[in-house]
Amino acid sequence: MAGGTAFDSRHIAPFELYIEAGRDERLRAAAAECFAAYDSLALGILRRLGLPDPERLAGAVVAMVFGQQLRRLATGSPAEDLVDTLLLMTGTAVGGTGCDAAARPPSASRSC
């Protein structure tokens, strides 16, 4: 999913909302609502993956995805960086090495 998602300057608006919410408390409720929705989505995915303690991991996964996406937007880094990070995080959470080549989508052919 992460590797196939287009991400470019058209996707900058959410980041602008979050930064502006840091300056204007009137926007904080909207930003919090957005993050709550992302956390809920992440929680559902982590549960379906069978990861231990998904409630604890969901916020961290959302923060990591946002950080990687911001880095990708700012530097042009490839989507595979996000895929690698997600595989590392979820593999480590279940006691693996975090490098599951079998789980890697074909578009993410980088080695660990």
Sequence-distant (≥ 6) Cβ neighbours of residue 44 within 8 angstroms: none
C-alpha span between 110 and 112 (Å, rounded): 7
Question: What does pLDDT average to over the chain?
Answer: 78
C-alpha span between 34 and 38 (Å, rounded): 6
| Amino acid found at 79 | A
What are the tens digits of pLDDT across the range 65-100?
Answer: 888 888 888 888 777 777 787 777 766 555 554 444
Furthest-apart CA pair in the chain: how many Å? 46
Which of 75, 40, 32 is CA-nearest to residue 61? Answer: 40
Q: Is the pLDDT of residue 26 over 90?
A: yes
How high is the pLDDT of residue 3? 52
Whether the predicted model's global pTM rises above the 0.75 cut: no
What are the tens digits of pLDDT across the range 10-22?
Answer: 778 888 999 999 9
